[in-house]
Structure 1
Amino acid sequence: MRRRLLQSLVPLVAILAIVAAVPLANFIATNTTRNLFLSRSNDADWFATMAESPLQSGDIATLRELAVRYHELYNTPVFVVDVDRRVVATSRSGVDVKEPDIELVLDSTLSGRLPAEPKALWPWQSGEMVVSRPVVNNGRVLGASVLRVPTEKGRHDVQNGLLLLLGGLLMAVGAVVIGIVRPVTRWVLRPLNDLDNATHQVTRGALDTRVSTDGRAPELRRLGDSFNSMALSLHQARQREREFVADASHQLRTPLTSARIHIEGLSRLSPTARFALSDIDRLGRIVQRLSRLAGSDRPGDVEGSEAPLDLAQAVKERLVGWKAVYAADDLELIIGEMVPGGVAAELEVDDILDVLLDNASKYGAPPVEVSVTRDGTEVVMSVRDHGLGLGSRDLKKVGERFWRSAHHREMPGTGLGLAIVRSEAARVGGRVVARPPIGGGLVIEVRVPLIDDYED
Structure 2
Amino acid sequence: MRRRLLQSLVPMVIVLAIFAAVPLANFIATGASRTLFLSRSNDADWFATMAEGPLQSGDIASLRELAVRYHQLYNTPVFVVDVDSRVIATSRSGVNIAEPDLATALSSTLAGRLPAEPPAMWPWKSGEMVVARPVVNNGRVLGAAVLRVPTERARDQVQNGLLLLLAGLIVAIVAVVIGIVRPVSRWVLRPINDLDNATHQVTRGALDTRVSTDGRAPELRRLGDSFNSMALSLHQARQREREFVADASHQLRTPLTSARIHIEGLSRLSPTARFALSDIDRLGRIVQRLSRLAGSDRPGDAEGNEEPLDLAQAIKERLVGWKAVYAADDLELIIGEMVPGGVASELEVDDILDVLLDNASKYGAPPVEVSVLRDGTEVVLSVRDHGLGLGSRDLKKVGERFWRSAHHREMPGTGLGLAIVRSEAARVGGRVVARPPIGGGLVIEVRVPLIDDYDL
TM range (shorter): over 0.9
Does structure 1 retain, via aligned residues, the 8 Å contact 2:379–2:449? yes
Task: Check the 8 A contact 2:292/2:298 in 1, yes or no.
Answer: no
For residues 335-368 of structure 1, what are the alpha-carbon distances to aligned partners after superposition, in whole Å with 9 as ceiling and x for unaligned?
4433322111121111111212222333344454
Counterpart of 1:407 in 2: which secondary structure? Answer: coil
SS at match of 1:402: coil
Question: Which runs of structure 2 are paired with 1:410-449 in the superposition (5 Å)?
Answer: 410-437=410-437, 441-449=441-449
Which range moved further: 158-167 or 375-384?
375-384
Secondary structure at the aligned position of 1:448 is classed as: strand
Structure 1 pair 148–301 and aligned structure 2 pair: CA distance change class (3 A): farther
Per-residue CA deviations over 1:418-438 (Å, capped at 9, x if unaligned) read 111111122222222334455
Q: Is the 8 A contact 1:299 1:426 kept in 2?
A: no
1:291-330 residue pairs with structure 2 within 5 A?
291-295=291-295, 306-329=306-329
Instruction: Give distance in 2, aligned partners of 1:296 and 1:28.
Output: 80
Q: What is the 5 A alignment of 1:7-22?
A: 7-22=7-22
Q: What is the aligned residue count?
A: 456
Cα shift at 1:47: 0.5
Name the SS for the 2:126 alignment partner. Answer: coil
Q: Equivalents in 2 of 1:190, 1:169: separation in Å?
A: 30
2:407 aligned counterpart, secondary structure:
helix
**Structural mapping, 1:89-238, within 5 Å:** 89-238=89-238
1:294-443 matches, within 5 Å, as: 294-295=294-295, 306-329=306-329, 331-437=331-437, 441-443=441-443
The farther-off stretch of 407-416 and 244-253 is 407-416
* Between 249-258 and 383-392, the greater mean CA deviation after superposition: 383-392
Name the CA shift for 1:69/1:297 in 2 (closer, same or farther; >3 Å).
farther
Structure 1 distance, partners of 2:131, 2:124, is 21
Deviations 1:282-309 (A, max 9, x none): 2111111111111189976998771111
Q: 1:34 to 1:446 in 2, by over 3 A?
A: same
SS of 1:406's partner is: coil
Q: Distance in 1 between matches of 2:21 and 2:165?
A: 8
SS at match of 2:337: strand
Amino acid at match of 1:41: S
Greater alpha carbon shift after TM alignment, 128-137 vs 389-398: 389-398
Instruction: Note the alpha carbon deviations across 1:134-156, whole angstroms, 9 max, x for none.
Output: 11111121111111001112212
- Greater alpha carbon shift after TM alignment, 276-285 vs 352-361: 352-361
1:440/1:266 CA distance change after superposition, 3 Å: farther
1:376 Cα deviation after fit: 3.7
Q: Which amino acid aligns with 2:8?
A: S
Deviates more, 1:177-186 or 1:67-76: 177-186
Question: How far is 1:387 from its partner?
Answer: 4.2
Shift of 1:125: 0.6
Equivalent in the alignment of 1:285:
285
- Residue 330 of structure 1, CA deviation: 5.3
Deviation at residue 100 of structure 1 after TM alignment:
2.4
Could you state the TM-score of these two structures normalised by the residue count of structure 2? Answer: 0.93
Once the two structures are overlaid, the 10-residue window that deviates more, 157-166 or 386-395, is 386-395
Distance, in Å, in 2 between the alignment partners of 1:386 and 1:124 is: 77
CA distance 1:119–1:385, change in 2 (3 Å)? closer
Cα deviation, residue 269, structure 1:
2.5
- Could you report, residue by residue, the CA deviation over 1:221-243 in whole angstroms, capped at 9, with x for unpaired residues? 00000100110011001000100
In structure 2, relative to structure 1, the CA distance for the partners of 1:274 and 1:334 (3 Å cut) is farther
Q: Distance in 2 between matches of 1:448 and 1:442?
A: 19
Deviates more, 1:266-275 or 1:348-357: 266-275
Q: 1:81 to 1:344 in 2, by over 3 A?
A: same
Percent identity over the alignment is: 90
**Unmatched 5+ residue regions in structure 2?**
none
Please give the alpha-carbon distance, in whole angstroms, between the structure 2 residues aligned to 1:193 and 1:439.
43
Q: Which amino acid aligns with 1:421?
A: V
Structure 1 pair 267/334, CA: closer, same or farther in 2 (3 Å)? farther
- Partner letter of residue 95 of structure 1? V
Query: Which residues of structure 1 form unaligned runs of 5+?
Result: none
Q: Distance in 2 between matches of 1:438 and 1:68?
A: 98
Give, in angstroms, the shift of residue 454 of structure 1.
1.5
Amino acid at match of 1:55: L
CA contact (8 A) 1:302 1:427 kept: no
Distance 1:166 1:305, change over 3 A: farther
Change (3 A) 1:297 1:176: farther
Conserved? CA contact 1:130–1:148, under 8 Å: yes
* Equivalent position SS for 2:193: helix
